[in-house]
A and B are shown apart, each in its own frame.
Chain A
Amino acid sequence: MVQRMTDEDSDLILMSKKGRMEAFRKLVEKYKKPAFFMALGLVGNRDDAYDLSQEAFIRVYRNLSRFNPRHRFFSWFYAILSNLCKNHLRGRQVREEYVRDRQNTADCGHQENAAPGPDILLEQDEASRRLWQEIERLPFEFREIIVLKNFQGLSYKEISAMLDIPMGTVMSRLYHARKKLKDNLQTADGMRAYEV
């Protein structure tokens, strides 16, 4: 669960702006876990998630002067992290397409994933692995909202603030994301347990 913005955060940001690295370290220590797990949900690879979440903190440090204290720190941080992950996934997709073109693969529907997702899960049963594979195939916006709701356990209000979208949009996006996931699972082989 993402911690709420506190007076302590405001003080830490203020001190970090003045160049106090110890204050910034405390901020990083406080938010490193939610940052890493959110990145992990978005990119599906531990090494990349570790690297991207660190990069997001570095960009935050370089742009501290642009932070508006009226907003929550983590919402601002998440916008930076989310964009980094989006760019990373786009780059990965381009690389995968390039490799596919070179290999001249006949099976165009097969997705060669450079980052094997299921090993990031605690439970290694077939159902969880299959579900995670389908989550990874969702469009970014759908995957993002499922990660925030189901894996991070954020409330609708928190998601609304985090993504800067109205509550109604949170509900409808979540509906379409879950529906697409459900439909994909129904059409996938070996998913009798989730047939609905």
Chain B
Amino acid sequence: MKCEEIRPWLMAYLDGEIEQREKSEVEKHLADCESCRREYESFARLKEVTNRMRFADLSDQLWAGYWKGVYRRIERGTGWIFLSIGAIILLAFGAYQFFKELLTDPHVSLVVKVGVSACAFGAIVLLVSIIRERLFLFRTERYREVER
């Protein structure tokens, strides 16, 4: 094997994840090639140091509260969803009642009726536009939850 081909196998050899056939080839190459041998030795020294490194653990108190944190956030998320649905239903119903009474009230001038209707129409167009944009972003977002 050439030096370029052997390099990835040096990692498998170093980490003890190599089959006997490849192991013999790597050992033969290392015996013949000083450059690769020096590189392998430097990787071995690096591994020695990284192997000594460990992350400090969290306190028992933090571990004990881990699930509670997850649960609370799930619970709050569910709460917000129901609150939002309820608010949307009430707002939609309120808006419907308001416009129904406004448009059928003979005492309200035509100018006001047209103005309010135009505002309502504009708001609906904006809302639809935002929802459409959000849906497009959701479909094309690179980092949304990955499904495998």
| Chain A residues at the B interface, C-beta cutoff of 8 Å | 21, 25, 28-29, 32-33, 36-37, 40-41, 46, 50, 54-55, 57-59, 61-63, 66, 68, 71, 75-76, 79-80, 83, 86-87, 119-123, 127-128, 131-132, 146, 149-151, 155-156, 164, 168, 171-172, 174-175, 178, 181-182, 185, 194, 196
In the complex, how many angstroms separate the beta carbon of B39 from the nearest chain A beta carbon? 8
Instruction: Check B145 against A66 for contact (C-beta < 8 Å).
Output: yes
Indicate whether A123 sits within 8 Å of B54 (C-beta atoms), given known contacts A175-B11, A194-B49. Answer: yes
Q: Is B111 an interface residue (CB 8 A)?
A: no
* A196 & B53 in contact (Cβ 8 Å cutoff): no
Partner of A36, one of B17, B38, B58, B145: B58
Given known contacts A21-B71, A29-B67, A80-B146, A149 and B38 CB-to-CB distance under 8 angstroms: no
Residues of A close to B98: CB separation below 8 A: none
Kindly list chain A residues whose C-beta atoms are within 8 Å of the C-beta of B38. Answer: 196
B74 within 8 A of A: yes
Q: Quick check: A149 and B15 within 8 Å, CB to CB? A: yes
Task: Check B148 against A164 for contact (C-beta < 8 Å).
Answer: yes
Q: How many residues of B contact A (CB 8 A)?
A: 41
Q: Which residue of A lies closest to B65 (CB)?
A: A50
**Complex formed: what's the CA distance from A75 to B148 in Å?**
9
Report yes or no: A132 in contact with B53, Cβ–Cβ below 8 A.
yes
Could you jot down 12 A-B contacts, CB within 8 Å?
Answer: A62-B77, A68-B148, A76-B146, A83-B143, A87-B143, A122-B53, A128-B49, A146-B50, A155-B17, A171-B12, A178-B11, A178-B46
Is B21's beta carbon under 8 Å from chain A?
no
Complex Cα distance, B73 from A86, in Å, reads 21
B8 within 8 A of A: yes
Are the CB atoms of B146 and A175 closer together than 8 Å?
Answer: no
Count A-B pairs with CB separation below 8 Å.
124
Q: If A54-B69, A87-B143, A196-B42 touch, does A46 touch B58 (CB 8 Å cutoff)?
A: yes
Q: A79-B146, A172-B8 are in contact. Are A25 and B62 (CB under 8 A)?
A: no
Contact partners of B17 in chain A: CB under 8 A: 155-156
* B interface list, Cβ under 8 A from A: 7-12, 15, 17, 38-39, 41-43, 45-47, 49-56, 58, 62-63, 66-67, 69-71, 73-74, 77, 143-148
Query: In terms of DSSP, what is the predominant structure of the interface of chain B?
Result: helix
| Residues in A whose Cβ lies below 8 Å from that of B11 | 171, 174-175, 178
The answer to whether A120 and B56 have CB atoms under 8 Å apart is yes
Give B38 Cβ to nearest chain A Cβ, in Å. Answer: 7
Residue pair B74, A61 in contact (C-beta under 8 Å): yes
Please report the C-alpha to C-alpha distance between residue A29 and residue B69 in the assembled complex, in whole angstroms. Answer: 12
Q: Give the residues in chain A near B58, CB-CB below 8 Å.
A: 36, 46, 50
Min Cβ gap A10→B in Å is 16
CA distance A182 to B10 in the complex (A): 15
A37 to chain B, nearest CB (A): 6
Supposing A58-B77, A123-B54, A175-B8 touch, asked if A196 and B41 sit within 8 A by C-beta, the answer is yes
A37 touches B147 (CB 8 A): no
Asked if residues A80 and B54 are in contact (CB atoms below 8 Å), the reply is no
